[in-house]
Amino acid sequence: MSAVPAPRPGALRPPGPGRAAVAPSAMPSVTPSVPGPVPASGAADGDAFCGDCPGRTVLDHVTSRWGVLILASLRAGPLRFHELRDRIGGISEKMLSQNLRVLVRDGLVDRDVEPTVPPKVSYTLTPLGAELAVPLQSLVDWIATRTPDIVAAQRCHDAGTDAS
């Protein structure tokens, strides 16, 4: 059995036997990765522009650098942990594991464990994750196409000239 890594500073600890979700440190500027109860202010409608909306947490999960790349990678079909790690250049095993755990909890990714020795674990998109992966792939494609234009604009800006 592997040890569960400590939560990042400012993150809520998931509730376990006999404990409620509590923040390990007071860092008000950090969006918690595990949402608490839905506020009674009507923010449960998913309006990410509302400050206390749970949609902000979802937005954080799916638009993080690693979340986008994991979801886009899984569009091609099921992948094992090492295949995902190798496909996404620069991601550490710790970051991959943490992000997969969050995406599984959010219902976007399924974790399938085959009872073999050692266990064979693969990850696939849920129907909800597959729906989300389509526009995310468009974003990844747009970035791939427009990166030269953006890099040129950055160079112009840094040189103090107008890119238009």
Distance (Å) of CA 15 to CA 12, 34, 95, 104, 159: 9, 10, 21, 16, 51
Mean pLDDT within 13-41: 39
User: Cα separation of 35 and 55, whole Å?
Assistant: 10
Per-chain mean pLDDT for the chain: 78
pLDDT score, position 162: 66
- Coil vs helix vs strand at 55: helix
pLDDT tens-digit series, residues 127-161: 999 999 999 999 999 999 999 999 999 999 999 87
Q: What is the pTM of this model?
A: 0.68
Proportion of the chain above pLDDT 90, given as a percent: 59
Pick from 89, 61, 60, 58: nearest CA to 73 = 89
pLDDT score, position 144: 94
Q: 53 or 73: which carries more pLDDT confidence?
A: 73
Work out the pLDDT band at 164, boundaries 50, 70, 90. Answer: low
- Coil vs helix vs strand at 19: strand
Q: 121 or 51: which carries more pLDDT confidence?
A: 121
Work out the pLDDT band at 52, boundaries 50, 70, 90. Answer: confident
Q: Is the pLDDT of residue 2 over 90?
A: no
pLDDT tens-digit series, residues 84-123: 999 999 999 999 999 999 999 999 999 999 999 999 999 9
pLDDT score, position 102: 96
